[in-house]
Structure 1
C-alpha cells in the first residue's frame, strides 16, 4: 500500500467512526435548533416572552396568553386570559394595549409583554405591568381595561 492509500483508508475509518457515533434524528428534529420543549413551543424562536406568574382567584387563573395570534389577536404580547382551573378552558381574554408595528423591523422584536400580574387591594381588579413599566387594571367583573400608570 502506498502512503496516500493508507491515509485514505485511515480517513475513511475516522469518518465512519464519527458517523457511527452521531445520534439519529427524528424527522422533526434538526441539528440547527433544539427540539421544542413544552415551554419553548409556545414562544417565538427569536424572542422569549417574560414569564409573568399567574394569579389564581376563586378557581380562575389569570395569565398572559401564549400564542395570542393563534387565538385571533393581532399581537402576541399584552393579552390576558382568564382560565378555569379545573377544566383548563379559557373563559375570556382581553387585549391590554395595541402594538403599532414598524414594517422595517421584525415583529417579534417589537412585541411588548406583561412582566407581572397581581390582584389590586380591593380584589376586584387584576393589575398587569408590561415591559415598558406601564400598569393596566382589568376589572374582573366587566373585563374593562384601564391604564393606571406609565407613559401612553
Structure 2
C-alpha cells in the first residue's frame, strides 16, 4: 500500500470539509473513517441573513441593509435604508440597534440581522424585529429608534 492510498481516507474528509473543488463529487466520509482518523469535520458557518420584504410608508420604502460593512458602516445587520419609492434613490440610513463585536470572536457569527419590517398602524413608525426576537420602533420623522418592551 502506498503512502498516498494510506493517507487518502484521512485527508479526503479534511480537504472536502475545506471546500476543495475536487471533492464536489465525493460523498461525505463515513463515521468509521472519521472515527479512525480522529478528525472532526468543520462546523458550517452561520447561514446568511433572512430575506426581508421592504415596507412602504408614504413616499418611502424601507429596506433592511444586511451588509453594512460593505458600505463603510461598523456593522452587518441592524441597519435600515429609507428609499424614495418613486425614484428608487436612497434618502437616508439608520442604525436601529448597535452590534458590539467581541474582538476574540469571528465577526460573522456575531452579526445580528433584521428578520422583519412592518408598518405600525399609525403610519408614522416602522417596527423592526431582529433575529434574536428583539423589537424596535423607528420614528420615521425623527429618524430615531427605540427598543420595544
What is the number of residues matched between the two proteins? 108
User: Structure 1: which 5+ runs fail to align?
Assistant: 1-30, 33-44
Give me the TM-score of the superposition, normalised by structure 2.
0.65
Please state if 1:108 is matched with 2:108. yes
Residue in 2 that maps onto 1:58: 58
Any conservation in 1 of the 2:83–2:90 contact (CA below 8 Å)?
yes
Q: Which stretch has the larger CA shift, 101-110 or 73-82?
A: 101-110
Whole-angstrom distance in 1 between the partners of 2:98 and 2:78 = 8
Q: 2-side partners of 1:66 and 1:113: how far apart? A: 6
Contact 1:63 1:81 in 2 (8 A): yes
- Corresponding residue of 1:72: 72
Match of 2:93 in 1: 93
Partner Cα separation in structure 1 for residue 100 and residue 54 of structure 2: 26
- The 2-side partners of 1:51 and 1:70 are apart by 18
- Alignment RMSD: 2.0
Residue of structure 2 equivalent to 1:117 = 117
Residue in 2 that maps onto 1:136: 136
Deviation at 1:46, TM superposition (A): 6.1
User: Which structure has the larger Rg over C-alpha atoms?
Assistant: 1
Task: Flag the structure with more relative contact order, 1 or 2, with Cα contacts below 8 A and sequence separation at least 6.
Answer: 2
Moved over 3 A (4+): none
Q: TM-score, normalised by structure 1?
A: 0.64
Aligned to 2:84: 84
Secondary structure of the equivalent of 1:108?
A: helix
Contact 2:55/2:118 (CA < 8 Å) preserved in 1? yes
User: Unaligned 5+ residue runs, structure 2?
Assistant: 1-20, 23-44
